[in-house]
Amino acid sequence: MVTNSTSLGKPPSGTRGAREGRAPTLWKQISRNRFLYALLIPVAIYLILFKYAPMAGEIIAFKNYRLSEGIWGSSWVGFEQFEKLFASRDFYIVLRNTLLLNLYHLVFAFPVPIVLAILLNEVRAEWYKRTLQNLLYIPHFISWVVLGSIVIALLSPSTGVVNTVLKAFGMEPIYFMADKFWWPVSFIVSGIWKEAGFGTILYLAAMSSIDPTLYEAAKIDGASKRRQIWHVTLPGMRSTIAILLILQVGKMMDVGFEQVYTLRNDAVTSVAEVISTFVYTRGLVSLQYSYTTALGLFQSLIALILIVSVNRIIKAMGERGLW
């Protein structure tokens, strides 16, 4: 009697070989792309040392940390630091300022690189396009210490170029850096000046992957340049915009320390004090380590909730999320 191998639950050798060919092992993939994986090693080391390892220090948010006693020797206080945090009026002020500045950035600054990228994409003279790109990229590589000094000098009420122009038109000088209304405006505009040009890189890369035949078909159908941008360019950039939007919303609880610290002053503390500067003044200057660690932990949890929520919304809309 001849035994059929398939009746004993053994797959045919051809099927097994096909499966093995379709599913190479992880080590084979790493061996095949070993140089690409080698490039990830410095990044992985950086993340482990400066992002993941410091997470162990979050334990002091639940302790009354003292330098003389160390992390493990300090006494446990449970959620006492969080109770102090949520009972503090200063906490709600810095939380409001942080969210407002990020909201202003999301509304006014986030679309600027998209618009710039579309405009640059329409420039046909290659030398002119590259010159504009270089001029737009340069501010990104200037530190906020230098750029902040330039901004303060430009907006000076006595010698600044902006107020000199206002005076020439018979208008009163504006104290941009000392006015609670104009300081947030100056903050957002200076941020756009520094980062908008560099932010066009990803959008230009996304537009370079759009099939040129789509533009040709749109021209044949009689679409104007505005219609081509709306129906071809923007849909081609949509996935990139979605991912960057997720990342931006994930930073809603964080405002860059350097920009705020460089531009702020005592006259605008009520609108310029944000979580990052508050942690610096209370944590490093006043040595309230446990208190500010509790604030940092709260900040991280809210950021995690925001980024997960927006990622789900973006995926529900049919776009690719971060994961």
Q: Is residue 249 in a domain?
A: yes
Q: What is the span of the domain harbouring residue 216? A: 88-316
| Six token digits for residue 215 | 């533009």
Number of domains in the chain: 1
Q: What are phi and psi of 64, to 5 degrees?
A: -95, 80
Q: Is residue 68 in a domain?
A: no
The crossing angle, in degrees rounded to 10, of helices 234-250 and 289-316 is 160
In tens, the pLDDT along 217-250 reads 988 888 888 899 999 999 989 889 988 998 899 8
Give the whole-angstrom CA distance, residue 18 versus residue 232: 40
Specify the CATH number for the domain of residue 152.
1.10.3720.10
Transcribe 108-163 into DSSP letters.
Answer: IITHHHHHHHHHHHT---HHHHHHHHHHHHGGGGS-HHHHHHHHHHHT-TTT-HHH
Q: Is residue 117 in a domain?
A: yes
Q: pTM here?
A: 0.82
Query: Which residues touch 319 (CB under 8 Å, ≥6 apart)?
Result: 238, 239, 242
- Model confidence at 259: pLDDT above 80: yes
In tens, the pLDDT along 82-98 reads 999 999 999 999 999 99
Q: Is residue 212 in a domain?
A: yes
Which has the minimum average pLDDT: 18-32, 101-115, 223-237, 265-279?
18-32
Q: Is residue 146 in a domain?
A: yes
Q: Is residue 268 in a domain?
A: yes
Q: Is residue 27 in a domain?
A: no
Q: Is residue 321 in a domain?
A: no
